[in-house]
Structure 1
Amino acid sequence: MHQAHPKLEFISPAFNGSILKITQRSLPILLKFRLKRWLPAGISRIDAVNVETLAELYHQFQTGKIRLLLAFRHCQVDDPLCGLYLLSRVPQVARRKGIALQSPIHSHFIYERGMPLWAGAWLGWLLSRLGGIPIHRGKPFDWTAIKTVRKLLIDGDLPMALAPEGATNGYSEIVSPLEPGAAQLGFWCVEDLLKANRPEQVYIVPIGIQYGYVKPQWSRLDWLLRQLEADCGLLSRNSQPEKERELKKIYAQRLFRLGEYLITEMEQFYRRFYHQNLPSDPRSAGSKNLTTRLHQLLDVALRVGEEYFGLQSKGTIIERCRRLEEAGWTYIYREDISDLKTLSPLHRGLADWVAQEANLRMLHMRLVESFVAVTESYLQENLSFERLAETALLIFDVLARIKTRKMPRRPRLGWRWARITVGEAISVSDRWHVYQSSRQAAKQAVADLTQDLHVALEKMISKS
Structure 2
Amino acid sequence: MFNPITNIQPTLDFLPPNFNPLVLKVCQWGIPFWIQWKTPLVDIKGEKVERLVNIYQQFQEGKIRFLLAFRHPNTDDPYCMSQLLWRFVPETAKQQGIVLSDPIHAHFMYDRGIPLWAGKSVSWLFPKIGGTPIFRGKVDRLGLRSARDLFMNGQFPLAAAPEGATNGHNQSISPLEPGIAQLGFWCVEDLKKAERTEEVYLVPIGIQYFYIQDNWIDVEKVISQLEKDCNLPQGNEDLTVSSLYSRLMQLGNYLLDTMENFYRQFYHRTIPQDESLDFSERLKRLLEMALTVAEEYFNLKPTGDLSSRCRRLEQAGWDCIYRYDLKGNDNWSAVELGLADRVAIEASLRMWHMRLVESFVAVTGRYIRENPTFDRFAETTLIVWTMVNRLKGGNPIKRPYLGKKRAKLTVGEPLSVTQKWSDYQTNRRQAVANLTQDLQNALEQIIEH
TM-score normalised by L of structure 1: 0.94
Whether the 8 Å contact between 1:202 and 1:428 is mirrored in structure 2 is: yes
3-state SS, counterpart of residue 366 of structure 2: helix
> Match for residue 248 of structure 1?
241
SS of the residue aligned with 2:162?
coil
Aligned residue identity for 1:87: L
Q: Which residue, out of 16, 19, 22, partners 1:15?
A: 19
1:375-394 per-residue CA deviation (whole Å, 9 max, x = no partner) reads 22111111110011000000
Amino acid aligned to 1:346: V
For 1:275-314, what per-residue CA distance to the aligned partner results, in whole angstroms no more than 9, with x for missing partners?
A: 11112x4xxx132111000000000000000000000111
What SS does structure 2 have at the residue aligned with 1:343?
A: coil
| 1:414 corresponds to 2:403 | yes
- Residue in 1 that maps onto 2:440: 454
Distance 1:407 1:295 in 2: 22
> Aligned pair 1:443/2:396, yes or no?
no
Find out whether 1:30 has 2:34 as its counterpart: yes
Query: Shift in Å at residue 340 of structure 1?
Result: 5.3
What is the CA distance between 1:47 and its match in structure 2?
1.4
Identity of paired residues, percent?
A: 49
Tell me, which stretches of 5 or more residues in structure 1 are unaligned?
35-40, 242-246
* Equivalent pairs, count: 444
The corresponding residue for 2:379 is 390
Deviations 1:353-392 (A, max 9, x none): 0000000000000000001122221111111100110000
Aligned-partner Cα distance in 2 for 1:169–1:289: 22
**1:236 to partner: Cα distance:** 1.7
Match of 1:257 among 250, 262, 278: 250
1:220 to 218, 225, 240: 218
Out of 266, 276, 284, the residue aligned to residue 295 of structure 1 is 284
Task: Summarize deviations over 1:213-258 as a string: whole Å, max 9, x none.
Answer: 00111111111111111111112211235xxxxx111111111111
2:229 is aligned to: 231
Q: What per-residue deviation string (whole Å, max 9, x for no partner) do you get for residues 31-67 of structure 1?
A: 2332xxxxxx601111100111101100000000000
Question: 1:204 & 1:320 partners in 2: Cα distance?
Answer: 26
Structure 1 Cα separation of the partners of residues 107 and 396 of structure 2: 26
**1:27 Cα deviation from its structure 2 partner:** 2.4
Which residue identity does 1:126 align to in structure 2? L
Q: Secondary structure at the match of 2:184?
A: helix
- The 2-side partners of 1:21 and 1:385 are apart by 38
Q: Deviation at 1:338?
A: 3.6
Partner of 1:169: 167
What is the 5 A alignment of 1:86-125?
86-88=84-86, 89-125=88-124
Q: Which moved more, 1:340-349 or 1:386-395?
A: 340-349
Match 2:177 to one of 176, 179, 183? 179
Q: Is the 8 A contact 1:31 1:81 kept in 2?
A: yes
Corresponding residue of 2:344? 355
Counterpart mapping for 1:45-444 below 5 A: 45-88=43-86, 89-139=88-138, 141-240=139-238, 247-279=240-272, 281=273, 285-339=274-328, 341-404=330-393, 406-437=395-426, 441-444=427-430
Give the C-alpha shift of residue 405 in structure 1: 5.7
- What SS does the aligned partner of 2:231 have? coil
- Which SS does the other structure have where 1:336 is aligned? helix
SS at 2:197 equivalent: coil
Structure-2-length-normalised TM-score: 0.97
Q: Secondary structure at the match of 2:326?
A: coil
Name structure 2 gaps, 5 residues minimum: none
Inter-partner Cα distance in structure 1 for 2:269 and 2:350: 15
- Give the Cα–Cα distance (whole angstroms) in 1 for the partners of residues 108 and 447 of structure 2: 23
| Counterpart code for 1:372 | V
Please report the RMSD computed on the Cα atoms of aligned residues, expressed in angstroms: 1.2
Structure 2 distance, partners of 1:183, 1:124, is: 27
Distance 1:403 1:341 in 2: 38
Deviations, residues 169-215 of structure 1 (Å, cap 9, x unaligned): 00000000000011000000000000000000000000000111001
- How many Å separate the matches in 2 of 1:265 and 1:174? 27
